[in-house]
């Protein structure tokens, strides 16, 4: 059987009225580089090469609806500092059922799970 793995890109719909706030979150709070912006996408590059595209869509789920959907994971070398900066920005915290993780909605979009590098390493074993 062929080897299958995740690629380097993922895109998610977000509410159009939250696009600017979501862009600000990824660039200013997380410090990611914007690689593309047009009417259909705003893309950000993570240090590991992963690309996240935000796709404005009037029919995108709202933050509460995203809570019942797939979540994505972020790993931080400084979990507490990153969590503090995310909360300071004013995101919506989500109950995720894992005390060592921090679950939240990006502005106008999906749920993310933030882990420390150590926790991510433990879970990958």
Q: Where in the chain are the domains?
A: 9-123
Report the pLDDT averaged over residues 52-59. 95
Of 59, 55, 31, which Cα lies nearest the Cα of 43? 55
What pTM was estimated for this model as a whole?
A: 0.88
> Domain 9-123, what fold?
2,3-Dihydroxybiphenyl 1,2-Dioxygenase; domain 1 (3.10.180)
C-alpha dihedral sign at 37, 22, 86, 52: negative
Residues 6+ apart with CB under 8 A from 81: none
CA distance 71 to 80: 20
Predicted confidence band of residue 60 (pLDDT cuts 50, 70, 90): very high
- Read off the pLDDT of each residue in 42-62 and give the average, rounded to a whole number: 94
Residue 77: which pLDDT band, with cuts at 50, 70 and 90?
A: very high
């Amino acid at each position: 059987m062929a080897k299958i793995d995740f690629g380097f890109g993922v895109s998610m719909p977000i509410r159009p009225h939250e696009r600017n706030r979501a862009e600000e979150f990824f660039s200013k709070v997380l410090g990611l580089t914007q690689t593309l912006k047009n009417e259909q996408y705003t893309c950000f590059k993570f240090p590991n090469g992963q690309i996240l595209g935000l796709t404005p869509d009037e029919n995108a789920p709202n933050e509460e609806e995203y809570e019942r959907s797939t979540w994505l994971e972020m790993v931080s070398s400084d979990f507490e500092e990153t969590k503090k900066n995310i909360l300071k920005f004013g995101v919506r915290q989500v109950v995720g059922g894992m005390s060592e993780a921090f679950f939240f909605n990006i502005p106008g979009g999906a749920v993310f799970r933030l882990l420390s590098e150590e926790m991510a390493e433990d879970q990958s074993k």
